[in-house]
Amino acid sequence: SSELTQDPAVSVALGQTVRITCQGDSLRNYYPSWFQQKPGQAPLLVFYDKNNRPSGIPDRFSGSSSGNTASLTITGAQAEDEADYYCNSRDSSGDLVFFGGGTKLSVL
Amino acid sequence: QVQLQESGPGLVKPSGTLSLTCAVSGGSISTANWWSWVRQPPGKGLEWIGEVYHSGKTNYNPSLMSRVTISVDESRNQFSLKMSSVTAADTAVYYCARDAGGFTFDYWGQGTLVTVSS
């Protein structure tokens, strides 16, 4: 299967660390990308490939991957990190793109 | 800085054809990147529709490929989406995005809401 599975919702206390996970067979072949989406806005790339963070993204965002599971970690979550987070990857053929169902992050 | 801008009708009648264009500025579409369409129904997640390379090669979401055509116009630095036989289920915000080298979506358009209704 090329589907990507994410927990629907996760919460974290302000300043604490949270891990958002993404599972799927394609992750054995491809590193995922992670996107943050706030209401009414387009998705924003926050982490991709093995260890890449786009310019302007705080270093509290990091990623890791092992086997069929990838994680986006936010170390010291801030109020502005409250958003929906999506992972995405290609399937094993490289011809198809998939998104996870998204995780709604609440910062308490 | 690459910028993408979607344009097209915001209202399409059921059984009609949805047509959108994505204008690319700040960079050439004729580079080693894929150019994708992604949609998001109200209150739901992201769904990849398909992609086009500047050579014209395309890949499509299997669940939509019977109704979708994505094309590229290098002379105008833009690419387009056509989706036929639309229903209310196709109501969504439609985004165009650049898939840099086939690795990640690094630039997105602001999105355009298309409503399917009579």
Partners of B48 in the beta sheet? B38
The model's confidence at residue B105, banded by pLDDT at 50, 70 and 90, is very high
According to the model, what pLDDT value does residue A93 have? 86
To probe the interface with A, which of B34, B35, B104, B108 has the most A CB atoms within 10 Å? B104
* CA–CA min distance B40, chain A (Å): 10
Q: CA dist A43 to A1, A32, B46, B67, B111, Å?
A: 25, 15, 9, 25, 10
Residue A94 has pLDDT above 90, yes or no: no
Say which residue the tokens 């963070």 belong to: A53
Q: Given CA atoms A26, A32, A34, A35 in this order, what sign does their dihedral have?
A: negative
Burial A48-68 (b: 16+ CB within 10 A, else e): beeeebeeeeeeebbbebeee
Check residue B111 and report its DSSP letter: -
Residue A2 has pLDDT above 80, yes or no: no
Q: Is A90 in Cβ contact with B46 (below 8 Å)? A: no
Q: Pick from B51, B61, B103: which is nearest to A48 by CB?
A: B103
Query: Are the beta carbons of B77 and B83 closer than 8 angstroms?
Result: no
- With a pLDDT cut of 90, the percent of chain A lying above it is 89
At A35-55, the pLDDT tens digits run 999 999 999 999 999 999 999
Burial A15-43 (b: 16+ CB within 10 A, else e): eeebebbbbbebbeebbbbbbbbeeeebb
Residue B56 has pLDDT above 60, yes or no: yes
Give Cβ neighbours of residue B104 (< 8 Å, ≥ 6 apart). A33, A45, A48, A49, A88
According to the model, what pLDDT value does residue B32 have? 86
Interface of B with A in 33-92 (CB under 8 A): 36, 38, 45-48, 51, 59, 61-62
What whole-number distance in Å separates Cα of residue A105 and Cα of residue A18? 9
Q: Is A100 in Cβ contact with B106 (below 8 Å)? A: no
The model's confidence at residue A24, banded by pLDDT at 50, 70 and 90, is very high
* CA–CA min distance A37, chain B (Å): 10
Residue A1 has pLDDT above 60, yes or no: no
DSSP for A46-57, please give it.
EEETTTB--TTS
What whole-number distance in Å separates Cα of residue A61 and Cα of residue B76? 37
According to the model, what pLDDT value does residue B103 have? 82
